Structure 1
């Protein structure tokens, strides 16, 4: 029997997320169903997916337009790219069934709360680059 070890023990939180997040989602769906009923819970989940898709499209357009504007001005569109990552992640979370991921997804899509995620991502990237643990790997050059 093969045993698998997470690299350096640093990825344990990924394994935990695959267990904890679905359990929280099931619990939230059952709880919401008890409060408002099964049909209303189902319709609320469908509505969150539709609203999430709409918001993702609108905010994605804004981020894309901003990235294009910055590139045309000769600037690196760093903030717009981080916004785009947040928007994609938020859209995916809103499309997936459940209310916990919906809450996180909506905060990733709304510009006011997206700033928090963007600053966390930027701080993480800066820490990785300063520490030398973030390396670009690619082809052999041109």
Structure 2
């Protein structure tokens, strides 16, 4: 299901579920439940923020588990706390799933598998960074190929592109013998 459609449907489902449960057990019970879950989620988020870094540092020092696994475990717990803060029964159920260790491990493995597939399909070499591009000489057909240097003398936002000095150098000479304005 696409994310925009889920974002539109989820609040409607949450509201419908709150109305249905409220008609069965009473509106005050539903409001009390929602407020209790908000307070619980805020306290859990506060607790997890402080304890997760300490626990990750201790695990890293002792070598008990990989730091990435510990951080991902704490990330899913924090996601569960945030889901508890969001009012609704479906988000509360999803939050409780984030606190079950077996389900957390399954979510972590699924997330790693998705990242591996995404990396394999799009590749590491995105945004034009391909191995074949690095061996090409960018200065192949220019004055720079002969060892010349172009010194720009005006501002970078200048409208005239030829306002500088071309310092001609031969590749075997170490000092420049002349310069000409272009």
Q: Compute the TM-score of the two structures, normalised by the length of structure 1.
A: 0.72
Match of 2:36 in 1: 47
Higher RCO (CA 8 Å, separation ≥ 6 residues): 1
Q: Compute the TM-score of the two structures, normalised by the length of structure 2.
A: 0.58
Match of 1:131 in 2: 121
The answer on 1:37 being equivalent to 2:26 is yes
Larger Rg: 2
C-alpha distance 48-121 of structure 1, shift in aligned 2 (>3 A): same
Quote the offset at 1:76 in angstroms: 5.0
Quote the offset at 1:113 in angstroms: 2.7
Between 22-31 and 84-93, the greater mean CA deviation after superposition: 84-93
Q: Is the 8 A contact 1:29 1:98 kept in 2?
A: yes
Q: Which runs of 5+ in 1 are unaligned?
A: 1-11, 138-142
Matches within 5 A, 1:7-86: 13-59=2-48, 63-73=52-62, 77-86=67-76
C-alpha distance in 2 between matches for 1:18 and 1:39 = 27
Q: Which runs of 5+ in 2 are unaligned?
A: 128-182
The structure whose residues are more often helix, as a share, is 1
Q: Is the 8 A contact 1:60 1:87 kept in 2?
A: no
Quote the offset at 1:134 in angstroms: 6.1
Q: Is the 8 A contact 2:42 2:81 kept in 1?
A: yes
C-alpha distance in 2 between matches for 1:111 and 1:33 = 31
Q: How many residues align structurally?
A: 126
- Secondary structure (helix, strand or coil) at the match of 1:97 reads coil
The structure whose residues are more often strand, as a share, is 2
Alpha-carbon displacement from aligned partner over 1:90-136 (angstroms, at most 9, x marks no partner): 11111011100110011113334322222211211222233344679
